[in-house]
């Protein structure tokens, strides 16, 4: 076995590979770009070497640099992860030339599967089922139309050089064929510089089912069953699961054997995935083979009890496959959700920024019927709280993988795990994933590649306005943090609290809505009113960002995270982003430029919270006024020192009166 390997990747997959290497006692070398100097993958490896600027082209795609680092650090093998150089046959070859083991298939297998139409010809010879169609060289329009008529409509035209759904045209009837062909060829030449097309029977509601295969250098090849990855959006996978719902033992064996035949036909070694599209009746056809370890490999690991990275390392080191086909069994059901920094409401636009707060669900190990089952939950991530999602790389935050003894149980774990996942600092798809996992179509396993498109209404409901409970959580958290900061006038000994019903108005906005919350101070809590709803609230527990309140007859727990002017409330599986408008703090901002803070309206000073010469931090409450029975806090617009306090408790002030002199 190797004693040291280089990981030619970043993010979660680099961390994933490093974890297995560490468990096996193998040292790891990370490579990183300038943007990743403080990245998690650098921290979890034993050594790390800077290979270039942020742009992948100048760093993670620099085959020459990476091989140089492997030679210099004495790494005997390179794991390419996925993406970047993982399916680059020249890189695989360059590794071999330099006496370094490439932890992946031989360059020849990568090449054979790289060309989609050549791969189809190879598969045809190996008796792997193909979609009925024509993928030959004859591109004559009349000839292709005759082929399409023979195949039967609807027919799908695909650019031979295409992939990822680009350059595809559905043709409904023979009369439409010539126009569609011309337009498909135009797009093909524009996108790929090659106007060759192929024609196939168009499957109406296909499922994406892929088979994990593994081969060693001793002639063994096995399949580790299937994954259903039908839930995609714009050819990007969102949810993956294993096994595929509805799969029969016969179909599983047929698909597995077809996948092994595909792998053997190209002399495959290592981890690979054979992708099929399957009809709702279960008939299946080869689409392509991915010659790498895939993002979604953990669902296979969970149901088979294997570590596929360990298998990769053993195979690359010349060992035999750890298990034979008859030793592989499916145990339970696993689902993976990809957590992305993106905004589903804005067309899934990537969202860059810093993970100001990131709390992942807690992993649980549990026992069933006396036997210990796998961890019900696993999270693979390349970022930690405080890390940044940059525009340079894939905006994936984490993969969340859950296990259950059956699909129903796995779904419940996924639903709960998503409900517990908290992120502040950038937009994420967590709420969307929650709706997706709980949707009628997904929970009912009514799967096909059009699931998201078809269920837009259920997946993108009009946002519900924050409830009184959510507003109360935000308010109580704000008031409690003022108190801990020593700026809560109601806890101090000024005595005015006894005078009358003290009220305060807080304003929040949420999307386009405005919430005016009236707070009345009571002996042991508050009365909170918003719109038509009123309730009495008490703070039961507070620890860091976590609070528990009693509202009416209910006990409600929440995590409330303040991020600048935003108050994020995580409670009962929902995340509400409230924008707190501290109107008077804002009013003070402009005034402060001139080194003074003035009264925004006529009123009475009810609390003075600072003294002359006192240093204050931005946001500190300085003074509280009462006007029209409401409390208004005057806060420091920036760090500074109090020059002079110009009024005392009980003083009446007129609008515009200077209250404090303040300097930066």
Binding site for ligand MV4 (CB under 6 A): 131, 156, 163-165, 200-203, 206, 208, 232, 235, 277, 287, 449
Least distance (Å) between residue 170 CB and ligand MV4: 8
Least distance (Å) between residue 141 CB and ligand MV4: 20
| Residue 359 designated active-site | no
Torsional class of 267: left (φ above 0), alpha (ψ -120 to 50), beta (otherwise): left
> Are the C-beta atoms of 353 and 431 separated by less than 8 Å?
no
Q: What's the maximum distance between 2 C-alpha atoms anywhere in the chain?
A: 95
Least distance (Å) between residue 203 CB and ligand MV4: 4
> Which residue, 77 or 199, has its beta carbon nearer to ligand MV4?
199
Least distance (Å) between residue 161 CB and ligand MV4: 12
> Which residue, 286 or 647, has its beta carbon nearer to ligand MV4?
286
> Are the C-beta atoms of 382 and 83 separated by less than 8 Å?
no
Rounded Cα distance, 492 and 607, in Å: 9
> Which residue, 22 or 166, has its beta carbon nearer to ligand MV4?
166
Which structure tokens are listed for 598? Answer: 């003035």
Least distance (Å) between residue 103 CB and ligand MV4: 26
Of the candidates 16, 252, 292, 504, the residue annotated as catalytic is 292
> Which residue, 181 or 636, has its beta carbon nearer to ligand MV4?
181
Rounded Cα distance, 554 and 550, in Å: 6
Rounded Cα distance, 149 and 155, in Å: 9
> Are the C-beta atoms of 616 and 642 separated by less than 8 Å?
yes
> Which residue, 232 or 273, has its beta carbon nearer to ligand MV4?
232
> Which residue, 184 or 653, has its beta carbon nearer to ligand MV4?
184
Provide the 10 A C-beta neighbour count for residue 164: 9
> Which residue, 200 or 631, has its beta carbon nearer to ligand MV4?
200
Torsional class of 85: left (φ above 0), alpha (ψ -120 to 50), beta (otherwise): alpha
> Which residue, 203 or 476, has its beta carbon nearer to ligand MV4?
203
Rounded Cα distance, 79 and 144, in Å: 43
> Which residue, 235 or 320, has its beta carbon nearer to ligand MV4?
235
**Type and span of the H or E element at 433:** helix 430-438
Short-list 343, 350, 422, 355, CA closest to 383: 355
Torsional class of 437: left (φ above 0), alpha (ψ -120 to 50), beta (otherwise): alpha
Rounded Cα distance, 24 and 22, in Å: 5
| Backbone phi and psi for residue 132, each to the nearest 5 degrees, phi listed first | -55, 130
Least distance (Å) between residue 107 CB and ligand MV4: 23
> Which residue, 170 or 522, has its beta carbon nearer to ligand MV4?
170
Least distance (Å) between residue 163 CB and ligand MV4: 6
Short-list 140, 138, 142, 118, CA closest to 130: 118
Dump the DSSP string for 325-391. GGG----SEEEEEEEESEEGGGTTEE--EE-SEEEPPPP---EETTEEPPPSEEEEES--TT-EE-T
Least distance (Å) between residue 116 CB and ligand MV4: 8
**Type and span of the H or E element at 47:** strand 47-52
Least distance (Å) between residue 122 CB and ligand MV4: 17
Which structure tokens are listed for 266? Answer: 């190209």
Which structure tokens are listed for 506? Answer: 């807080």
Which structure tokens are listed for 51? Answer: 């290979």
Rounded Cα distance, 246 and 228, in Å: 10
Q: Is the dihedral of CA 418, 419, 423, 426 positive or negative?
A: positive
Which structure tokens are listed for 402? Answer: 């859950």
Which structure tokens are listed for 170? Answer: 């559905």
Least distance (Å) between residue 378 CB and ligand MV4: 25
Active site residues: 292
């Amino acid at each position: 076995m190797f004693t040291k390997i280089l990981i030619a990747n970043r993010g979660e997959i680099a961390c994933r590979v490093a974890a297995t290497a560490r468990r096996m006692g193998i040292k790891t070398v990370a490579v990183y770009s300038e943007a990743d100097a403080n990245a998690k993958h650098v921290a979890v490896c034993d050594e790390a070497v800077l290979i270039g600027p942020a742009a992948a082209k100048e760093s993670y795609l620099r085959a020459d640099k990476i091989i140089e680092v492997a030679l210099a650090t004495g790494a005997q093998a390179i794991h390419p992860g996925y993406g970047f150089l993982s399916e680059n046959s020249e890189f695989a070859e360059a590794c071999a030339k330099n006496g370094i083991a490439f932890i992946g298939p031989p360059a020849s297998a990568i090449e054979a599967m790289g060309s989609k139409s050549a791969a189809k010809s190879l598969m045809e010879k190996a008796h792997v089922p193909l979609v009925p169609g024509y993928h030959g060289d004859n591109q004559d329009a009349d000839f292709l139309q005759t082929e399409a008529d023979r195949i039967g409509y609807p027919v799908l035209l695909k650019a031979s050089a295409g992939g990822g759904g680009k350059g595809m045209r559905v043709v409904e009837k023979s009369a439409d064929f010539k126009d569609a062909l011309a337009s498909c060829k135009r797009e093909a030449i524009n996108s790929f510089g090659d106007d060759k097309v192929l024609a196939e029977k168009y499957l109406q509601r296909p499922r994406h089912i892929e088979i994990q295969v593994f081969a060693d250098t001793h002639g063994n090849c096995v399949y580790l069953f299937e994954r259903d990855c039908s839930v995609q959006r714009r050819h990007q996978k969102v949810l993956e699961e294993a096994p595929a719902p509805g799969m029969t033992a016969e179909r599983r064996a047929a698909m597995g054997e077809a996948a092994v035949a595909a792998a053997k036909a190209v002399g495959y070694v290592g981890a690979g995935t054979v992708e099929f599209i399957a009809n709702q009746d279960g008939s299946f056809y080869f689409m392509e083979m991915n010659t790498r370890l895939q993002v979604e490999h953990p669902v296979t690991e969970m149901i088979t009890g294997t570590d596929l990275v360990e298998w990769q390392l053993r195979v690359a080191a010349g060992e035999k496959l750890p298990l034979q086909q008859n030793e592989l069994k499916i145990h339970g059901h696993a689902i993976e959700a990809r957590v992305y920094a993106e905004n589903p409401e804005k067309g899934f636009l990537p969202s860059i920024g810093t993970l100001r707060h990131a709390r992942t669900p807690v992993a649980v190990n549990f026992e069933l019927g006396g036997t210990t089952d796998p961890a019900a939950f696993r999270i693979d991530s390349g970022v930690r709280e405080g890390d940044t999602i940059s525009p340079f790389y894939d905006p994936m935050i984490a993969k969340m993988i859950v296990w259950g003894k059956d699909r129903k149980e796995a779904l419940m774990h996924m639903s709960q795990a998503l409900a517990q996942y908290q992120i502040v600092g950038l937009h994420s798809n967590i709420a969307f994933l929650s709706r997706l996992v709980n949707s009628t179509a997904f929970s009912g396993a009514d799967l096909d590649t059009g699931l998201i498109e078809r269920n837009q209404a259920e997946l993108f409901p009009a946002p519900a306005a924050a409830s009184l409970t959510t507003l109360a959580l935000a308010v109580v958290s704000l008031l409690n943090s003022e108190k801990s900061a020593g700026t809560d006038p109601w806890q101090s000994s000024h005595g005015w609290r006894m005078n009358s019903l003290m009220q305060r108005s807080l304003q929040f906005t949420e999307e386009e809505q405005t919430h005016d919350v009236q707070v009345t101070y009571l002996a042991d809590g508050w009365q909170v009113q918003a719109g038509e709803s009123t309730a009495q609230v008490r703070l039961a527990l507070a620890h860091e960002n976590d609070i528990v309140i009693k509202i009416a007859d209910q006990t409600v727990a929440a995590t409330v995270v303040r991020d600048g002017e935003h108050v994020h409330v995580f409670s009962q599986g929902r995340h509400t982003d409230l924008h707190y408008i501290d109107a008077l703090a804002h009013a003070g901002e402009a005034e402060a430029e001139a080194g003074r803070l003035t009264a925004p309206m006529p009123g009475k000073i009810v609390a003075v919270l600072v003294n002359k010469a006192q240093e204050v931090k931005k946001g500190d409450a300085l003074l509280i006024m009462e006007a029209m029975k409401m409390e208004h806090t005057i806060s420091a617009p920036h760090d500074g020192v109090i020059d002079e306090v110009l009024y005392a408790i009980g003083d009446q002030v007129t609008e515009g009166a200077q209250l404090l002199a303040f300097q930066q």
